A = this chain, B = another copy of it.
Amino acid sequence: MSGPLNPDWIAADWGTSNLRVWAMGSSGILAFAESDDGMGKLDRAGFEPALLRLIDAWIDRPTRIIACGMVGARQGWVEAPYRAVPCPPVAPNALISVQTADPRLQVQIAPGLMQAQPADVMRGEETQIAGALALHPGYDGVFCLPGTHSKWVHVSAGEVVSFQTFMTGELFALIAGQSVLRHGMAGDGWDQAAFDGGVGDALSRPEKLAARLFSLRAEGLLNGLGADAARSRLSGLLIGAELAAAKPYWLGQPVTLIGSERLSNVYKQALADQGVPARTLPATDCTLAGLVAASNQNARKA
């Protein structure tokens, strides 16, 4: 019977909704586990047991665990104060150590970033950006991380220079799922032409956005607009509004998208329609590469 894995260290992506952990060895990933023990459902005393539920069997000696994401928020396990941009996305010396009851756990949390003006914050995305830079050393330009809270990020000379958050994914979920429009957009099909029309309308006349939402309901009642077309057009209107406001980031710039394959491709197409080339990087690859970078930086210090 074999003993525990005892990896070199453990990488942890600990967001609001989920916890994902990777056992890391010299050859790469040895094991992976995940749970829905996100920060949002844990009180302060719940973090250590939630972590042990996934990694208890992996280790029988003291082991470093590097975590990123909302675990470091004020309502998280231990607050990891934001670092102010401009700064490298992940930095030596910046990891915050956590006191644990179990002596095997040597937990460190990567802090998020803040921007004073316009006021903005991120937690977790900074690690993905560090990972993207590790995967493509020397990249200079714009990242877009689409999602619940989309981020547009300008990186130069290895530092995050500025960034801007958009509540696009959260607004879509609220409007499509809970507003009066929900009656006309059940399901999950996709209508690319309706999406493209929404993006185009929002970009060309952004001041008309507020007038275009209820029309989706009226078009369904009067003209039989289908649920897939209505939902896709809503998505296009909201992503178009994001693109209109983020124009200073992408206008005339190549963009690197970090996100899920489906959402990244939606943004990639919308940007292509504006003449902007974009390449995509898988979010999980970037998260893991960023945690590796944080781990190495920290090890060099030790």
Contact = CB atoms under 8 A, between A and B. Distances in A.
Nearest to A183: B75
B119 A223 contact: yes
Interface string A197-218: 0000000001111110111011
A170 B179 contact: yes
Interface residues of A, number: 45
A178 interface: yes
B219 A119 contact: yes
Interface string A173-189: 01100111100000000
A214 B167 contact: yes
A201 to B, nearest CB: 11
B218 A121 contact: yes
B179 A174 contact: yes
A180 B246 CA distance: 20
Q: Which of A74, A119, A179, A242 has the most CB of B within 10 A?
A: A119
A207 B245 contact: yes
B245 A210 contact: yes
Contacts of A137: none
A36 interface: no
A120 B174 contact: no
Interface in A45-80: 74
Interface in A222-270: 222-223, 238, 241-242, 244-247
A197 to B, nearest CB: 14
A196 to B, nearest CB: 18
Contacts of A120: 214-215, 218
A1 interface: no
B166 A208 contact: no
Q: Which of A168, A210, A218 has the most CB of B within 10 A?
A: A210
A207 B207 contact: yes
Contact of A209 (B121, B217, B245): B245
9 nearest CB pairs, A to B: A206-B207, A119-B218, A211-B245, A165-B214, A210-B245, A210-B241, A119-B219, A207-B244, A174-B174
